[in-house]
Structure 1
Amino acid sequence: MDIDGVLLIDKPKGFTSHDVVDFVRKKFKIRKVGHCGTLDPIATGLLVLVLGKATKIQELLMSEDKRYEGLLRLGQTTSTQDSDGQIIEEKPVPFFTLEEIQKVFDRYVGDIYQLPPMFSAIKSHGVPLYKLARQGKEVERTPRLVHVYSYTIKKWDPPFIDFEVFCGKGFYVRTYCHDIGQDLGCGGHLFSLVRLQSGNFKLNQALSFDFLKSLKSPEELLNHVLSLPEVSRIRRQ
């Protein structure tokens, strides 16, 4: 059967965004399935899938603002800027007051430039950067203008900073953590990440992956798919 609309999934840790897309496509025999914003394997949380005719608005949904909760681990710099990579530098973490940390976070509000990480899907001469990185190669990248609307430091428990960030499209939370760690002088990386919101879609609306696996047919799945008129209404809220 044809299914057109948006499906919200709480992506589990260890899965790529493509893994979830591939699972939905094969299990429910849907020809066109895409996602609206990659989540790295270490990340969990809201993954917006577009099915059937909804793939025509994939770029539109992908461009919407997003909210994340992350855990920044100070004192360790990694090859991927997150906890999946190898530790390439380790430094002691000085005693920082919350005010000192906030001053550094304050530098990353508004329009900022980020240098895309080598472990990313951005292409250089048609080749994804992550493939070059796995070969031990590093190529010149152009910094990209991104936007941070706001942040909140939820907890400072050395060496971990629990934070929320509300940001625009193209923003790398990994790079955000890496750059803040560098500014603090001890290095840092993204230890864990949860996507809480994308546009007006929220994590508490999403299906767990276990529940998705329990569905037995496309007809059962259809009960949990947002129709295109519903998507339009939610976007206007």
Structure 2
Amino acid sequence: MSEPSYFLFLHKPKGMTSQACLTIFKKKHKIKKIGHHGTLDPFAEGLLLVGVNEATKYFCYIDDEKKTYQATIVFGKQTDSLDVTGREVASGEVPYLSREQIVLAMATFLGESQQTPPMFSAIKVNGKKLYELARQGVAIPRQARRIFVFELDVLFWESPVLKIVTTVSRGTYIRVLASDLAKVLGTMGYLSELSRTGLCGAGLEQAMSLDQEEVLLSQQIAIADMLSQYRSLYLNQEGEKRLFQGKLIGRECVISELPPSAMSATQGLTNNVCKVFHDKKFLGLATLERDVIRAKRLINHKKNDATSVS
């Protein structure tokens, strides 16, 4: 009997690593192959995208450019990790700040900017993770990265505690954003709470809890449905056969074609990539260039069931 392959959103609780959360989920539901996309720090909670069986092959093709977080910042103190898990390294007064002042300061962060990753991060330099160096008291120069802040709003303000909601591009460190905001406001700050509330168009209401006894069908997302930024090609039987033989396919094997069902922030990079189907069966991804179709990433249907009705 083939094993089902699908994506789902898991609500990671506070106090454990993303990997530990995944290990518990895998053991509880007797899943053979599993992976997750987008690590959350142990002190954080919220959405983890989980891939089961063949779905793990497709993480790198998913559009996760936008992520939404709710965060709590405490002004007047700074930690070495920029969050509640770190050691306090500085403290100072918090000036009088009105909500309007904070909103105006936040507006300066909207749009594209450069952000330097923190030392306490999993980025590797010469084979070593930065947080391993940071724990040894070593700080090295880090290259700034392009980020984009789509939204940054106040949810609550009562000095010294500020609660915010923000939607940012992939790779943005909310800890750094919080620290930088504090500096603009004439103080210092660290992140005391963090929750990822939006990922790949999903919200927390669509996430499965770790203590849930079974994975509901309504929570299982077909692989093809997570790849909505790609157009769809429906092949005839000969086309399917040739695709899995590793042969090139011409337009004569295409029965029909559908445009992408969602626009992607990386649409320009995916124009030659398409989903391929035979009837309702999702076969995988292929490239289409000059009317020639070439297999890119295919489903192993002998071991896994990844049928999609998309």
TM-score (normalizing by structure 2): 0.70
Higher strand proportion: 2
Partner in structure 2 of residue 221 of structure 1: 215
> Which residue number corresponds to residue 37 of structure 1?
38
Match of 2:255 in 1: none
Tell me by how many angstroms 1:36 deviates.
Answer: 1.5
Query: Per-residue CA shift, 1:202-229, capped at 9, x if unaligned?
Result: 1110011221xxx2xxxx4363422224
| Superposition deviation, residue 53 in structure 1 | 1.3
1:187 to partner: Cα distance: 0.3
Q: Is the 8 A contact 2:68 2:168 kept in 1?
A: yes
Quote how far apart the aligned CAs of 1:170 are: 0.5
Which residue type is aligned with residue 84 of structure 1? Answer: T
Query: Matches of 1:114 and 1:167 in 2, distance apart?
Result: 12
1:2: which partner in 2? 3
Q: Which has the larger radius of gyration?
A: 2
Amino acid at match of 1:167: V
Q: Which residue of 1 aligns with 2:47?
A: 46
8 Å contact from structure 1 (residues 104, 183) kept in 2: yes
Contact 2:103 2:153 in 1 (8 A): no
1:179 maps to a residue whose letter is: D
* TM-score, with length taken from structure 1: 0.90
- Report if the CA contact (8 A) 2:62-2:226 is conserved: no
Residues 1:231 and 2:231 aligned together:
no
Secondary structure, in 3 states, of the residue corresponding to 1:85? coil
1:147-186 Cα distance to aligned partner (Å, 9 max, x none): 0011111111111111100111101101100111122221
For 1:158 and 1:103, how far apart are their aligned partners in 2? 17
State the match for 2:113 in structure 1: 112
Query: Would you say the 8 A contact 1:196–1:203 is kept in 2?
Result: yes
1:103-160 CA deviation, whole Å, 9 max, x = no partner? 2211211001111011111001011111111111111100111000111111111111
| Number of aligned residue pairs | 230
Alpha carbons 1:12, 1:44 under 8 Å: kept:
yes
CA shift, 1:201, in A, is 1.6
Q: Cα deviation per residue 1:55-99 (whole Å; 9 max; x = unaligned)?
A: 122123373311111111111111111111111101111111112
Q: Structure 1 residues 171, 183: CA separation in 2 closer, same or farther (over 3 Å shift)?
A: same
Task: Give yes or no for contact 1:36–1:61 (8 Å, CA) kept in 2.
Answer: no
Cα 1:197–1:126 shift into 2, 3 Å: same
Unaligned runs of 5+ in 2: 230-259, 263-310
- 2:58, 2:157 → 1: CA distance? 39
* Residues 8 and 48 in structure 1, CA contact (< 8 A), matched pair in contact too: yes
Q: Counterparts of 1:183-194 in structure 2 under 5 Å?
A: 183-194=184-195
Contact 1:36/1:62 (<8 A) preserved: no
Identity within the alignment, %:
33
Cα RMSD after superposing both structures: 1.9
Residue pair 2:25, 2:210 contacting (<8 A) in 1 also? no
Whole-angstrom CA distance in 2 between matches of 1:140 and 1:11: 32
SS in 2 for 1:9: strand
- Counting helix residues as a fraction of each chain, which structure ranks higher? 1
Partner AA of 1:225 in structure 2: Q
SS in 2 for 1:67: strand
